[in-house]
Amino acid sequence: METKTVGILGGGQLGRMIVEAASRLNIRTVILEKGTDSPAKQINSSRDHIDGSFNDKDAILQLARKCDILTVEIEHVDVEALKFAQKETGVAVYPSPETIAIIKDKYLQKLHLLSNNISVAESIDVESTQEALQSVGALYGYPYMLKSRTMAYDGRGNYVVKDASHIPEALTVLNDRPLYAEKWAPFTKELAVMVLRSVDGRVYSYPTVETVHRNNICHTVYAPARVNDTVQQHAQFLAENAVASFPGAGIFGVEMFLLPDNKLVVNEIAPRPHNSGHYTIDACVTSQFEAHIRAITGLPMPKNLTCFSTPSTNAIMLNVLGASVPNEEVYMCTRALQTPHASVYLYGKSTRPGRKLGHINIVSQSMDDCERRLSFIEGKTTALQQ
Ligand code: ATP
Ligand code: MG
Ligand code: MG
């Protein structure tokens, strides 16, 4: 159907799921990733893949020469190299390099959102010194969150400064990283919304979901979020406005905190498919991955694209993380395969404790029923009444 070739910077699980969605539409994809056997390359037979870094200028240029459109599955890419490749070859880049540059620095991202009147978790630029961190304590009180501005994921780059005595350790843990500090957000829930932005700047939001983290890593996602309609709609509105403020097209994941007074603030934005949007594969009209491909290639995006498949759809997504006993996570996947209305997605990665190896989607007509199935899959109940 399409003759365009899409180059993807990064070949992890998000790249793999973009490849799957693109191939159903006959859209060719080419991967730039160091690993020769990365999750995205495994399922995409092509001689054109490049074994190189998404931070290597020459490798990015080489990729651009083979493609009509470049996209990313990770924001930690070399933006100047992307701009150079765009100028040299005329390749389209979505999300736009300007957007990636702002988002990949979490503090610049906050400043950008603030200047666009989007509520964010209160934060301040900080130098890596004992005195500077003490002044933040005096300003925000304890605990507060110290964060790396760049290269952060799964909470690696965050340090909770419980009191002044923890400052030396905070400086050691986040040594050599540009920092900023955030006021502690006493959230009652973490919410997230996937937002699609078309080339002509229209935005479409997916339903509001609730993310539950364990040890800073997403454990489960409840779709829709277990909050009232007003909060759900407010979250979608905030997420749409946040994404509308960034140039370029594609899918974005917007993470938010719901505060005790029901106020919502943005935590951070990802300019790419997001873990909190994996439920869309089974629960929505169009998955976040297909939606991304359609947005960046200019394919049609009808009105209901981002809705639940049916008005009564409920879903839970459970991440498959590497168990402390190698491969023990496989038992959970086997139980999921025994469970009606559960689908298992594995990413072709080797096991390591805490590593994201796959996810399981459970879809049903009620959240209670999804929870019952989840409980069996997690081994908390021994039998599932069907
Ligand atoms: P991701 O994998 O989502 O990119 P990350 O490394 O960029 O993660 P954040 O999203 O900034 O990290 O924070 C990780 C988690 O830490 C949040 O989901 C939330 O549970 C908690 N957290 C972050 N900021 C704050 C804050 N200001 N107050 C309280 N908790 C916070
Ligand atoms: Mg992040
Ligand atoms: Mg986050």
Report the share of the chain in percent with pLDDT over 70: 99
Q: What is the mean pLDDT of the chain?
A: 96
- Closest residue by CA, ligand 1 atom 30: 185
Q: Could you give the CA distance from residue 223 to residue 208 in angstroms, rounded to a whole number?
A: 7
Q: Please, which residues bridge with residue 360 across strands?
A: 318, 344
Query: What pLDDT shows up at residue 2?
Result: 59
pLDDT tens-digit profile of 309-343?
999 999 999 999 999 998 899 999 999 999 999 99
Average pLDDT of the segment spanning 281-307: 96
The predicted model scores a pTM of 0.97
pLDDT tens-digit profile of 4-44?
999 999 999 999 999 999 999 999 999 999 999 999 999 99
Question: How remote is the CA of residue 255 from the centroid of ligand 3, in Å?
Answer: 6
Q: Could you give the CA distance from residue 259 to residue 264 in angstroms, rounded to a whole number?
A: 6
Whether 157 is in the pocket of ligand 1, judged by its Cβ within 6 Å, is yes
Evaluate whether ipTM surpasses 0.95: yes
For residues 62, 66, 70 and 74, what is the CA-based torsion angle, rounded to 10 degrees?
A: -50
pLDDT tens-digit profile of 84-126?
999 999 999 999 999 999 999 999 999 999 999 999 999 999 9
Contacts of 228 (CB under 8 A, 6+ apart): none
Whether 150 is in the pocket of ligand 1, judged by its Cβ within 6 Å, is no
- Closest residue by CA, ligand 1 atom 14: 155
| Residue 143: other Cβ atoms inside 10 A | 14
Atom of ligand 1 nearest to the CA of 211: 18
Query: What pLDDT shows up at residue 176?
Result: 86
Query: What pLDDT shows up at residue 48?
Result: 97
Q: Could you give the CA distance from residue 384 to residue 376 in angstroms, rounded to a whole number?
A: 6
In testing the pocket of ligand 1, which one of 126, 145, 146 has its CB within 8 Å of the most ligand atoms? 145
pLDDT tens-digit profile of 90-100?
999 999 999 99
What number of CA atoms fall less than 13 Å from residue 318's CA on the CB side?
22
Query: What pLDDT shows up at residue 201?
Result: 93
Whether 142 is in the pocket of ligand 1, judged by its Cβ within 6 Å, is no
| Residues 279/223, Cβ–Cβ less than 8 Å | yes
Contacts of 167 (CB under 8 A, 6+ apart): 130, 133, 134, 137, 161
Question: How remote is the CA of residue 201 from the centroid of ligand 1, in Å?
Answer: 28
Query: What pLDDT shows up at residue 1?
Result: 58
Strands 69-72, 5-9: pairing kind: parallel
Query: What pLDDT shows up at residue 383?
Result: 83
Residues with beta carbon < 5 A to ion ligand 2?
268
Atom of ligand 1 nearest to the CA of 123: 27
Whether 155 is in the pocket of ligand 1, judged by its Cβ within 6 Å, is yes
Query: What pLDDT shows up at residue 245?
Result: 97
